[in-house]
């Protein structure tokens, strides 16, 4: 879903699968979504999605019964949405021209205008 939003906005982005040394001990797997900042000339994280397997569920005592009626721990995901300030900065940087800032086509119906 995040990839679709970034594609629809027309922003240059990448998805990184983090190595074990870059994730918390509670996470089994983490992906970072990054958008390129022209002004800073580097990739900036705009979202992170992690699989915590049963770590969080164990602390919450969050369980379910499977088809065999056996009680099992749930697995949980943790995902932030997009960091709005960085997305706004990326839109401004990527859609700016000599006459102002063009609004991404996907947002025009919501804005009611196509240029700032």
pLDDT, residue 39, reads 87
Domain boundaries, the chain: 2-52+80-111
Residues 31-53, mean pLDDT to the nearest whole number? 91
Distance, CA of 36 to CA of 94 (rounded, Å): 9
The token pair at 43 is 């990739």
Distance, CA of 65 to CA of 30 (rounded, Å): 27
At residue 80, does pLDDT exceed 80? no
Residues 6+ apart with CB under 8 A from 20: none
Global model pTM greater than 0.85: no
Residues 74-78, mean pLDDT to the nearest whole number? 88
pLDDT, residue 16, reads 94
């Amino acid at each position: 879903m995040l990839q679709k939003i970034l594609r629809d906005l027309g922003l240059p982005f990448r998805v990184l699968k983090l190595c074990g040394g870059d994730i918390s001990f509670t996470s089994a797997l983490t992906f970072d979504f990054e958008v390129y900042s022209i002004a800073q000339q580097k990739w900036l994280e705009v979202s992170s999605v992690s699989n915590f397997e049963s770590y969080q569920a164990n602390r919450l005592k969050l369980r379910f019964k499977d088809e065999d009626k056996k009680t099992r721990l749930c697995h949980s995901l943790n995902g932030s949405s997009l960091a709005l300030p960085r997305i706004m900065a990326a839109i401004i940087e990527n859609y700016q021209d000599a006459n102002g800032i063009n609004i991404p086509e996907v947002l025009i119906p919501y804005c009611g205008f196509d240029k700032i």
